[in-house]
Structure 1
Amino acid sequence: MAEQANPPDRARSHDIDADLVDDKTGMAKYACEQCKRRKLKCSRTVPTCTFCAEHSHDCIYSKIIRTPLTRKNLDAAEKRIANLEALLARHYSEREITRYEEDGTLPRLQGRRAPPYQHQPVASTSALPYAPPVAQPYGYPPYSSPNHPHPPIFVSAPATSKPTATPTIDIKPPLPARDETDDADGTGSLSLASNGKPPPGYLGSLSGAALLQFLQRCAADVNLSAAGAAGKCAASPSSSTTNSLTAILPDQLAGYITSYFNHFHLLYPVLHESSFRAQLAEIVPRPGGAAWTLLYYVVLGLGSMCTLTDTNEGETLTLYEQAISHVAAALFESASITSVQAFCLLANLAQKTNHVSIGTVFLGIALRMAINLGLHTEASGRHLSVFEQEMRRRAWWLLFAFDSGSQLTFGHPNTLPTTGVDVLPLVSVPDTVFTPSLTTRPQSFPDPTIYSSLIFQCFFHQMASQIVARLTYYPNLPITESLILYHEVDSLQSALPSFFFSSPPAWFDFPRHLLAWRLDNLRMVVLRHTFLKVSLMQGPVTEEEERGWAKCVDCAAEVVRSVQRFSSEAQRTCMEWWYALHFIIPSTFIPLIALRVRPASPSVIEWVDVVQSARSVLERVPHTLLKFTATRCLAIISAVADLSIARTDSRLSATNEPSAVPDSDFTNFLEMLAGQGPGFEGEAASPVQAPGLLPDLDTLLQWFTPSGSPLPVV
C-alpha cells in the first residue's frame, strides 16, 4: 500500500521560514498561532511546540508585522475592521460571531438562510391587494401571525466633556409660548375649528379630534367649538400662576429627580439611573456638554409631573421654559447620545404641557440626530462596549415608541426609516445586572423589570404602525378586513406575559394599565370607519357591520371603566392622570355619538352610565396642570346634553327646519345625561325618541375624507 501523504495544512508545520528561527537558540522568535489565540505561553520549539504536539494541532509560526503607530494607519485599520464587522453581521448571527472570537470557527456560508438582520419587505396584514411601506423595528415577534414579518431599531458612544458646575435653578419669567397654547391640545382629541380657522397643527382622520368633529356633525344643534372654548377659558390659569414662582427649593429638585426615576422611568427607561446620578454628583464626567444640561432640566420637568402632591402647574411650566432656554444652535452642530435623549424627552414634555407643534419638531430633531449617529444600525456600534450598545438600542426604541404614538394621537404619518434598520430588541434585566462593566450581553428575565413596559410598548407599536398605515392608505377598509385587524390586536394581547394580567408587582400597575388602554384604543381606531358608517347608515346594515359597531362602543366603555377604577383605587400622579385623560376623552365621544344616533336603543342606559362614569373621572382631576383639559371635555359633554347652549345657538335661530327643534322626550333625556334631572338608577329602560339631527350620509363622508383622498365607497 502506498504511503499516505500528509494533509496540506499539516505540512505547513515543517515549512518554517528561516527568518522566524533564532540562529543561537534554534527556537522560533514568536509564539505560534494556536498559543497566541489561547493566550498560552508557547515553548516555541521547532517545528512543533509542546502544546500543538500534545493536542495534534497545526503549529504555525508567522512573522509579526507592525505598521508605524500613526493616526493615518489607525484610521485605516479601524475603517477596515468596521467594514469587516459589518460584513460578518450581514451573514452571521451575534452568537456565531461571539463563537468565532472564542475559537476562530465560523459555519460555511453556502446554503445558509437569509441573514437575521437583513431588512425584509413588510407584507400586508391580511390578504389585501394593497401593502403600503411601513417602518418597523426588527426583532420583536409580538404575536403569532404569518402576515407580519418583523423588520428593525438603535446610541453612539457618549461624548464626554469636562465636569461643569451643578446646574442651579435661576428662575426667570416664563418665556413666550412656542405655539398657541390656547388652542393646542396635547391629547389630540379636543381641537375643533373655530371662527372659520382650522386647529393649530395637522390632525389626521385617525386622531381623536376627527372623532370630535364627527360628534359635532351628529349634534348639529349645539356648537361644541364654543362650548370647548368656554370650558377652556374657565379653567385656564391666570398669568400670575407662573410669574409668582421665583424659586424652586433644592429639596424639591432632588425630589423631582427621584420622582422621575420612580414613575416616568418605569414607562420609558432611556436613561441609566446610576450613571445619571453619578454625573449629577460629578463623580463621573457629564457627557454631551450643553446637551446634558438640557437633559437635566427636562428630567426635572417630567419629574415635577410625577409627584403625588398637587404640584403647582407653574413649576412644571417654568422648568419646561428653562429647558427651552437651553436649546441653542450649538446643540445642532454635533450629535451625541445625550442630545438624542434630551430632545426625545423634551418632545414628550412639550406635548404634556400642550406645546404640540414644537414637540413634534423636537422629536424630528432627535430622530435625525439618531440617524446621524447610526443608532438605526447595529454595525455602527460594534466597537463600543456591551453597555454602550444597549444604551443605543434604548434610545432608538424610545424614538420608535414616541414616533409611532404620534401616528395614533395626531394622525401623523410615520417618519421612521423603512429600510436599513437592523437594531436588536432590548434585554429585560434590572439595572443592577446590566452595568457598564459587563462584557457579555445577559439573557432577559422572565419577571417584569423596568424595561418590560418599553419592550411591550414596542411590540404594540410595531403592529400599530402597520395597522395605521393600512387604514391611512385604505380609509374605507371593508368590515371583514377590519375585523381581521381587530382579532390581530386580540392576538397581541393574548401573547402578553402573565404579569400583565394577574398578580403584578405594585410598581408595574400603571404600565400594564397603560398598555391595556392602548390596545383598546387601537381596536377603536380599527373599527372607527365602520362605526361612523353605521352611525350614518340610511339603508340596511349587515350583521358584521353591526357587530363591528357594537365592538367599538364596547371598547370605549371598557377604557372608561378601566380609567375610573384606576383613578379611584389610589392617589395618582399628574403624569398618570395625563395618560388617563389621553385615553378617556376620545373614548367618551363614542357613547355620546351612540346616544345621539340611537336614542331608542335598549343599550341606552348602559351608554349613559359610561358617559356619567367619564364625567365623574373628569370632575375628580386633582392636578392644576390638567384641570383645563378636563374642564374643556366636561363642557363638550354638557353641550351635547344641555339645551341651554342649543337655544342660544345662532344657527338654530336662522333655520326653520323642524329637525333642529328637539321634542320633550329628547329634552328629558339630555337633562338626565347632563345631571340636571332624575337619574336612571332603579328605573326601567324606556326608549326615548329624538329628532333627526344628522346631515345626509354623502355630506358627512365627504367631510370625513381627508383632502386629496379618494371618496370612500358607500
Structure 2
Amino acid sequence: MAEALLAEETTGANEILGVQLARRAIRGLKGPIALPHYDDLAFADIDASFQTLRIKDKDTRGFHGKSSGAMLVKTAVDLKNGNLGPPEPMEPVSVSKPRPPATNYTFPDEDLLFSLVSLYFENNTFLPLLHRPSFERAVRHRSHRADEAMARTVLLVCALGARYSTDPRVHLSSAGKAPGWQWFEQVQICQHFRSEHTSIIDVQCSCLTIMFLDATANPRICWNIVGFALRAGQDIGLHRFNMDSRATAFERELERRASWVLLLFDTQIGAALGRGSTLESHEFLHMPIICDDEYWGSPEITNPRGIFRQPPEKPSVVAFFNCMIHLNRILALSCKIMYSSDLERLQVGLEAEGWQGKIVGELESALNAWFEIIPHHLRWDPSFPIQDDTFFDQSAALHCAYHHTRIVIHRPLISAAEGRASRQVSGSTTSCAISHISPDMYRGSARVQPSRRDPAPPTPK
C-alpha cells in the first residue's frame, strides 16, 4: 500500500525538479549495478597508446579519465591506426613481481605467527580483503622473509590477530598500548605509496591499517588514510578496471575486494564524522564475486568460471559483504541529499517546503527493496534460528547497519519536526506537529529476533 501511495504521489506534473532528480537517483539503487558501457571503458588503453608513442616518462602511467588530455592523444592514435572499436583483450597472465627483500622487520615467533594469522581470518568474517588459502600458503613458504610488501602485510595481519590472542607475547614491547602494537608500528603509514607504481598489496595494507586504527584511541586518522588510499587506488584504476590487462581473474578479484572495502570505510567513517564521500559508488563498475575463499581455483586460471565455484547448496560468507555494499550505497546517497548544505539544495532545486518528507519516503522504499534481497541465511527469522556462528554475527551486523541507516535517513526530518514543535506554545500543537513520528519506527523490524546469546534488550526510549 505504501509503495502504491508513493507511486501515485510521484505522478504529479507539478513536482519540483530537485525532488524528481533525487527520486531518480534513489530508485537507481534498487537494481543491481549496471554493466559498464563501452564509453566507460574507452579510455582503458590510454596507457597502451602512450607506449605506442614511445613516451617513457613515468608520469604518463596511471588512470586517465574522459576529460584528460591523454584521452585526446588516445583518440589521435586510434584514428591513425584505424581502431575505433573496443580494445582487443590481451591474453591474461600473472604479472605480480616481488618487492625487495625485507631485512629490518621483526616478526613474531613462528608458532605465534601462524596462530595470529589464523585468528585474523577466523575473526574477520565481515571484510573479505585477503584470500586466506593463498595468503597462508605464502606465510608457510616464508614469502614475508623475501618480499618487502608481503612482510608489511604479514605484520599488519599479526597486529590484528593479536586482539583475539591470549598469548602473553602479544603484549611484549607494547606496554600500555593495544595488543600487537609492536608489529603494527613497524609499518610506516602510507610509506609504501612512495614507490614508482602503486600495487594491490599497497591498497590492502592501507585497509589493514584502517582496521587496526579504527579500534584505537585515535580513529579519526582513519579518514585521512582512507582518502589517501582511495586516490592511490584510483590512480591505477582499481575502481574501474585493472590497469594491466594481463592480470589474472584471481588478481582482479582481489583488487575488486580491496576497492570496495575502501569505499565501505569511506562511507561509514564519513557518515560518522559528518563528511562527504571521496568517491561515489557508481564509479565502481564491478561487484565482488560471491564465492568463498576455499572454493577459488588456482591463481593461474584465466577463466573466471573456472576459478570461482561456490557450491549452490553452500551459503556464502561473502554474501554479507555484497549486502553491505548495496546498503552503503543507500547510506551514501542519504547523507549526500539529506545533509547537504543550503547552497547545494538551492543548486539542485530542493528549496520547496516538504521536500524532506518526499525524499525520506523514497529512501524508505529503497531500503525495503534492499531488505528483500537479503539471503535467507542472513535473515533474522524466529522460526528458523541461525545455527552458524559466522552467519549469526553477520546477520546481527547487517540488521544493525540497516536500522542505523534508517535513523540517518529520518534524523533530519525528526530534527525539523522538533524545531517546529519547539516554536509552538500550545502543548497540543506540539503533539500534533510530531505525531507522524512513531517511537516504534526505531524499535526494529518484526523480522528481528532477540539474540540467543544475550537476554532481550530493554525497549528503547
Q: TM-score, normalised by structure 1?
A: 0.44
Q: Among 237, 247, 256, which residue is 1:384 paired with?
A: 247
Q: One-letter code of the match for 2:389?
A: A
Residues 1:450 and 2:310 aligned together: no
Residues 1:499 and 2:377 aligned together: yes
Shift of 1:395: 1.1
Match of 1:323 in 2: 184
Say if 1:142 and 1:460, in contact at 8 Å, map to a contact too.
no
Give distance in 1, aligned partners of 2:19 and 2:433: 18
Match of 2:73 in 1: none
Q: Among 549, 568, 575, which residue is 2:454 paired with?
A: 568
Shift of 1:350: 0.7
Residues 1:409 and 2:272 aligned together: yes
Map 1:73-472 → 2, pairs under 5 A: 128=19, 131=22, 143=30, 158-161=96-99, 164=102, 168-169=106-107, 251-264=111-124, 266-282=125-141, 289-307=147-165, 317=178, 319-320=180-181, 322-327=183-188, 329=191, 331-333=193-195, 334-378=197-241, 380-416=243-279, 421-435=283-297, 436-442=299-305, 446=312, 447-472=314-339
Change (3 A) 1:330 1:256: closer
Give distance in 1, aligned partners of 2:430 and 2:333: 28
Give distance in 1, aligned partners of 2:418 and 2:135: 52
Query: Secondary structure, in 3 states, of the residue corresponding to 1:364?
Result: helix
Q: One-letter code of the match for 1:548?
A: I
Match of 1:485 in 2: 363
Change (3 A) 1:321 1:541: farther
Q: What CA deviation, in whole Å up to 9, does each residue of 1:165-211 have, x standing for no partner?
A: 79534xxxxxxxxxxxxxxxxxxxxxxxxxxxxxxxxxxxxxxxxxx
Query: Secondary structure, in 3 states, of the residue corresponding to 2:437?
Result: helix
Query: Secondary structure, in 3 states, of the residue corresponding to 1:325?
Result: coil
Shift of 1:339: 0.9
Shift of 1:422: 4.9
Say if 2:23 and 2:362, in contact at 8 Å, map to a contact too.
no
Change (3 A) 1:412 1:531: same
Q: One-letter code of the match for 1:478?
A: Q
Q: One-letter code of the match for 1:272?
A: H
Map 1:484-563 → 2, pairs under 5 A: 484-501=362-379, 502=384, 504=386, 505-536=388-419, 537-538=421-422, 539=424, 540=429, 545-555=434-444
Change (3 A) 1:385 1:149: closer
Change (3 A) 1:283 1:359: same
Give distance in 2, aligned partners of 1:555 and 1:520: 7
Shift of 1:337: 0.8
Report the more deviating stretch, 453-462 or 290-299.
Answer: 290-299
Say if 1:161 and 1:286, in contact at 8 Å, map to a contact too.
no
Shift of 1:425: 1.4
Give distance in 1, aligned partners of 2:19 and 2:458: 38
Shift of 1:356: 2.0
Give distance in 1, aligned partners of 2:151 and 2:416: 51
Query: Secondary structure, in 3 states, of the residue corresponding to 1:548?
Result: coil
Q: What CA deviation, in whole Å up to 9, does each residue of 1:490-517 have, x standing for no partner?
A: 2211221111124543321111110100
Q: What CA deviation, in whole Å up to 9, does each residue of 1:458-498 have, x standing for no partner?
A: 11112221111111226885334323322321221122111
Report the more deviating stretch, 360-369 or 498-507.
Answer: 498-507
Shift of 1:157: 5.0
Say if 1:132 and 1:473, in contact at 8 Å, map to a contact too.
no
Say if 1:143 and 1:495, in contact at 8 Å, map to a contact too.
no
Give distance in 2, aligned partners of 1:457 and 1:308: 31
Shift of 1:342: 0.4
Say if 1:298 and 1:346, in contact at 8 Å, map to a contact too.
yes
The count of aligned residue pairs is: 360
Say if 2:292 and 2:316, in contact at 8 Å, map to a contact too.
yes
Give distance in 2, aligned partners of 1:478 and 1:364: 30
Q: One-letter code of the match for 2:19?
A: L
Say if 1:377 and 1:423, in contact at 8 Å, map to a contact too.
yes
Q: What CA deviation, in whole Å up to 9, does each residue of 1:620-670 have, x standing for no partner?
A: xxxxxxxxxxxxxxxxxxxxxxxxxxxxxxxxxxxxxxxxxxxxxxxxxxx
Say if 1:157 and 1:388, in contact at 8 Å, map to a contact too.
no
Change (3 A) 1:390 1:330: closer
Stretches of structure 1 lacking an aligned partner (at least 5 in a row): 1-125, 170-247, 570-605, 612-714
Q: One-letter code of the match for 1:412?
A: R
Q: One-letter code of the match for 1:360?
A: W
Q: Percent identity over the alignment?
A: 17
Pair member with larger Rg: 1
Change (3 A) 1:366 1:423: same
Query: Secondary structure, in 3 states, of the residue corresponding to 1:345?
Result: helix
Give distance in 2, aligned partners of 1:495 and 1:129: 25
Give distance in 1, aligned partners of 2:270 and 2:446: 23
Change (3 A) 1:281 1:457: same
Say if 1:382 and 1:389, in contact at 8 Å, map to a contact too.
no
